[in-house]
Structure 1
Amino acid sequence: MKAGFWIAPEGSDDTMTMLPLAEAGEGVVRGKDVVAFLATASAEESIARCPRTAELLPRLAQALDAQRADAAGQLFDITDYEAHERELIGQVLGEGEVSGLAALPDGGVAQLTEAAMAGLWRVRFTDAAGRLVADYLEIASIPHVVERASAFTAERLSLGEAPEGAMNVMPILAEIDGRMRAHRPGGPSHTINFSLLPVNEIDMDFLQRTLGEGPVQLVSRGYGHCKVTATGARNVWSVQFFNAMSTIILDTLEIGDTPEAARAADEDFRDSAERLREIHEAYFA
């Protein structure tokens, strides 16, 4: 039996090439280390020469306060900020629990990283040649580009014939196809738990080939390690949880909107707004 529905290539974490939140050559701070960085002399010098960053932080906090998980996101374009301003923004935001990639049909890629303040995201678009073309902050449960990219997937499944030696793949595919057609945005998700199902390697191989690979990869390091991967079928996601030894302990498919494992919740926005205000008042005001 295979170890899981989605088996990433060896060293797959390294293949998800991400632009760091800070500019090239600078280390991105994580979590509580944001405050430690802001207390340094170099940070004080940076803050003094970055008035746009000081002006932006209260606006972000206000937007976080007003945001709801089921509402459209709010965008703050920083593409035209000076390099040192964007570098400081990256250091102030830090790096949170979720990061990932979303590929678009034109060859562009959105590289997204949640800040240390949950629900606040840094999203960078690169074109097919790898050039940075847009850089913005988004306050949302999940960046809109994730939903945009995942919409370029198949609306229906082509089931074909069951392969020789299969056990339960055809009933599973029929269930997935029905749930795909029945799902509506904002509706409840349906979960298929492979950890509990009697399936063999032939089942899993055929299931992977039928669903195909999708355009979104997300990694969450909040409660353990979780990988969320879009399949090539509309609204069908592989969601896998791993233990400290990188062994899959829960292997599922979710049919629905972007899985909750990668999303910010209502309470996250309130907490993040408070934290951002504290940082602004302590170091920028």
Structure 2
Amino acid sequence: MKAAARVGSDGAEQAVSEFPLGLKSLDVIHGGLTTVVPPVKCAWRGGDELAGDRANAVALLSKAAAAASGQRGGARTQLYGLANLSDLERTLIAEVLGEGEVAGVVALPDGSLAQIWESVLAGIWRVRIGTEPAHEYVEVGAIPQIVRRAATDLTSTDLVIAAPPDGAMNVLPVLAEIRERARTWRSGMRAHVINLTLLPMNAVDLAFLHESVGNGPTQLVFRGYGTCRVQATGIRNVWSVQFFNSTDNIILDTLEVGGVPIVALAADEDFEDSAERLREMIEVYAT
């Protein structure tokens, strides 16, 4: 998160914190390195090419539809690997599921990256670890488990607060609040939201805040009428959640202390709708 500025209602510039974001790629900062991952593109083929090589793909999608029908946000996700499928079958799955408005990356301890993108059906995800088809799978759930695991296993349990630099104004109370909330938060508790947009913090404050919490292993980007970016910080259970308008200016800048922010999760009511739509799509390819 870097220091930036926005124009307030009174016409004056106000400081905001901003994690790096490329509109044509996802930037993940982990271990001091920046890796740019191009958006994943599906390979599209005509129906005739897929007609003779789709049984396994249809079976997998049918299992995913059945799983989605009974899925709930708090339940364990269900995974369906693509390792045993042919290239054409994987292409069919990509064609049916498509690409929704959510994409993300997770930096793993071995230096590899997991690419995540939600399908056009909420709560049904595609995940690829590295570049090998053997490490690609479809996952049904509120959010892929790899997001939760990385945010827990690859982050620090404590926030160390050093002496602030010259020019800092109000960052120490904010850091103390973050540290206390992160220490006491437990699964099932409501998230605690700190609205940085409304706080009287200058660029020095925000830069020191970023330096203190650091960058975590996970970044998710949601694109619709505007953009929402969810980034794990280097502190366990602390997330940056930022909203941008259609011209890519920050309009809401927050830190959340809790589990994966709710804005990133598929809702319970999404699953049955996605299951029904997927069953309808499968019928088209199965006949």
TM class by shorter-chain length?
Answer: 0.7 to 0.9
Q: Deviations over 1:153-184 (max 9, x none)?
A: 01001101122211110000000001101111
Could you say what secondary structure the match of 2:197 adopts?
Answer: coil
Alpha carbons 2:77, 2:142 under 8 Å: kept:
yes
Aligned 1:160-179 pairs, distance under 5 A: 160-179=162-181
Alpha carbons 1:121, 1:143 under 8 Å: kept:
yes
Give the whole-Å Cα distance in 1 for the aligned partners of 2:198 and 2:98: 38
The equivalent of 1:144 in structure 2 is 145
| 1:17 aligned onto 2:18 | no
- For the structure 1 residues 192 and 14, does the alpha-carbon distance in structure 2 shift closer, same or farther, using more than 3 Å as the test? closer
Could you tell me which amino acid in structure 1 is paired with residue 73 of structure 2?
Answer: A
Structure with higher strand content: 2
Give the whole-Å Cα distance in 1 for the aligned partners of 2:75 and 2:21: 35
- For the structure 1 residues 222 and 270, does the alpha-carbon distance in structure 2 shift closer, same or farther, using more than 3 Å as the test? farther
- Is 115-124 or 275-284 further displaced after alignment? 275-284
State the Cα distance separating 1:12 from its structure 2 match: 6.8
Give the whole-Å Cα distance in 2 for the aligned partners of 1:158 and 1:132: 41
The equivalent of 1:107 in structure 2 is 111
What percent identity do the matched residue pairs reach? 46
Aligned 1:67-146 pairs, distance under 5 A: 67-126=71-130, 131=132, 133-146=134-147
The equivalent of 2:271 in structure 1 is 269
Q: Deviations over 1:23-67 (max 9, x none)?
A: xxx25xxxxxxxxx8xxxx22441332111122222111100110
Runs of 4+ displaced beyond 2 Å: 1-4, 9-16, 18-22, 130-133
| 1:216 aligned onto 2:236 | no
Could you say what secondary structure the match of 2:17 adopts?
Answer: coil
Structure 1: give runs of 5+ residues left out of the alignment.
28-36
Give the whole-Å Cα distance in 1 for the aligned partners of 2:98 and 2:21: 28
Q: TM-score, normalised by structure 1?
A: 0.88
> How many residues end up aligned between the 2 structures?
266
Alpha carbons 2:57, 2:85 under 8 Å: kept:
no
The equivalent of 1:278 in structure 2 is 280
Alpha carbons 2:68, 2:272 under 8 Å: kept:
yes
Give the whole-Å Cα distance in 2 for the aligned partners of 1:106 and 1:160: 30
Pairwise CA RMSD of aligned residues? 1.9
